[in-house]
Amino acid sequence: MVKLRPFPVLSPQRVVQGPSRLGGARSALLPMRPRPEPQELLSSWLFRLAQANSQKLHSLSRLIFGERQLWNRDIDSMAGDEVLAALERATGVNADVLRLHTLPSLEGRVYAHHTANSSTPWVLHLGIYHRTRRHCGLQYCPQCLGERPAYLLPWRLSISVVCPVHGCVLHAACPACGVPVVPHRVDMAAHLSKSFPTRFPHTRCHACEVALASAPTVAAPAAVVAWQAVIHAAIAGDGWVQVQGVGAVPLTEYLVVARLWLTLLTFGRRAERLRTLLGMPVLAQSEPRVRSFDVLDVRTRLAAIEHLITLFDGWPERVTAWSRAARLRRTILLQDMQAPPEWYLDALKPLEYVNPRRPLTGPLSWEELLSHAQQGGRRARLLVAYGEGRPVREVARHFGIAPRTVRDLVTRFNQGRPEGPARKTSSFE
Ligand SMILES: [Zn+2]
Ligand SMILES: [Zn+2]
């Protein structure tokens, strides 16, 4: 528990021009300088800094950064050398230490490159609109917030779904009114002006003032809690995780593979069958406008991560088993990967021989073929049986034709000649 020290009342002038404690020379050091908590977001520390100095957040920002507009952007993403140097002058905390509390510090451990102006993989979208946020991009654990008023760096990541300390599901909105958490919009002036200042106003909903720590605690599955602890330890530590049968691998490599499978498990194209086989719930937000894991709600991400854990628990056999069952081809299993990790390619090796036949590349999508087959189309039913991986001989026997006719029909389909010039080769349709 962090104790509030008594508030000294000070004006900006007094801070800048006040006598230095370091002897004579004028100092810009703030009187109250709480240290950042481990893993605390830079923005969260700024809220506490303002409060400790009885300042409105925006007054403190003006004092430290001048007229720079910081709060209409994502300060945890954008804080560069200038901002950190100004903070070092105001607080005495080294800029390199402060950098560890920003999202760019996760470069090389969570993502290969952090891009401040566009979306970075795993960073939840904030949907910044002027001074407010349209997406729930800042998550929190109500119990953590109740114990210490700090928002943590991993809470900004879509890979974070539970609190490894308290074993509960993270929240991403106000429990009372459902708006995203936007701590810098809390009117600190209102909280400071009361005779008994509100404790930690930035841990309240900016819209309805409910304490976020009062959000209900929802117990998370034990396997997810254990997994989250491993991932967070890797993020905060040396950035390596263990993969069964492989050994220690860089977290970035693990996350490249995890991201592909989490996409397949949630909305990946051509992976509907995988989701059906695993009983994944249909996305509540039917079709996210941005097709990214980083805009999905915490419940959807949690459900996908449970399956990801199962996948890695059975590594590498389960990758091939699921891929075969859901007919996921290598192109799908490697899509959007610039440099697939060697250990992942090794796991996919058995799949190279599983389906040597030609894929169906004809004018109809798989869904359209299925629909035709359901309506009784004989040719569509044959192509579906072929596409499902049934042996050609078996398909031929089932439809009472020669294996060569099956292959001819596939050729004609792939050439976009659904009717075919030589109807005499078969009596289909
Ligand atoms: Zn917690
Ligand atoms: Zn609210």
Q: Give the model's pLDDT for residue 13.
A: 42
Ligand nearest to the CA of 173: 2
* Phi, psi (deg, nearest 5) at residue 66: 75, -140
**8 A C-beta contact, residue 315 and residue 243:** yes
Q: How many angstroms separate the alpha carbon of residue 216 from the centre of ligand 2?
A: 14
Ligand nearest to the CA of 169: 1
Q: What spacing in Å lies between the alpha carbon of 173 and ligand 2's midpoint?
A: 8
- One digit per residue, the tens of pLDDT, for the chain of length 429 reads 444 444 344 444 444 443 334 333 345 899 999 999 999 999 999 999 999 998 889 899 999 999 888 888 899 999 999 999 999 999 999 999 999 999 999 999 999 999 987 789 999 998 887 777 888 999 999 999 999 999 999 999 999 999 999 999 999 999 999 999 999 888 766 666 666 667 788 999 999 999 999 999 999 999 999 999 999 999 999 899 999 999 999 999 999 999 999 999 998 877 888 998 998 877 655 555 668 899 999 999 999 999 999 999 999 999 999 999 998 988 899 988 888 999 999 999 888 754 456 788 888 888 899 999 999 999 999 999 988 877 788 899 999 998 889 988 988 998 887 554 444 444 444
Ligand nearest to the CA of 178: 2
Ligand nearest to the CA of 144: 1
Cα–ligand 1 centroid distance for 125 (angstroms): 22
Judged by its nearest atom, the ligand closest to the C-alpha of residue 146 is: 1
pLDDT at 7: 39
Phi (first) and psi of residue 157, to 5 degrees: -105, 140
Ligand 2 center to 315 CA (angstroms): 43
Ligand that lies nearest to the alpha carbon of residue 155, given by its number in the listed order: 1
Task: Determine the distance separating the centroid of ligand 1 and the alpha carbon of 104, expressed in angstroms.
Answer: 23
What pLDDT was estimated at residue 23? 36
Measure 171 CA to ligand 2 centroid, in angstroms. 13
CA distance 70 to 57: 11
- Cα angle 334-337-339, degrees, rounded to a multiple of 5: 110
- Which long-range contacts does 279-285 make (Cβ < 8 Å, 24+ apart)? 280/304, 280/307
Q: Residue 193 C-alpha to ligand 2 middle, in angstroms?
A: 21
CB-neighbour burial class of residue 381 (10 A; exposed 0-12, middle 13-18, buried 19+): buried
Distance from C-alpha of 311 to C-alpha of 183, rounded to nearest angstrom:
37
Spatial separation of the C-alpha atoms in residues 143 and 151, rounded to whole Å: 12
Q: How far is the CA of 147 from the centre of ligand 1 (A)?
A: 9
- Nearest ligand by distance to the CA of 212: 2
Helices (H), 36-159: 42-52, 57-65, 75-78, 81-91, 95-99, 142-147
CA 372 to centroid of ligand 2, rounded, Å: 49
pLDDT at 37: 96
362 vs 410: CA distance, rounded Å: 8
| 30 contacts 53 by C-beta, under 8 angstroms | yes
Ligand closest in space to the Cα of 204: 2
Distance of CA 204 from the midpoint of ligand 2 (Å) = 8
At 419 the pLDDT is 53
CA 275 to each of CA 29, 279, 331, 344, 373: distance values in angstroms, whole numbers, following the listed order: 56, 6, 18, 21, 21
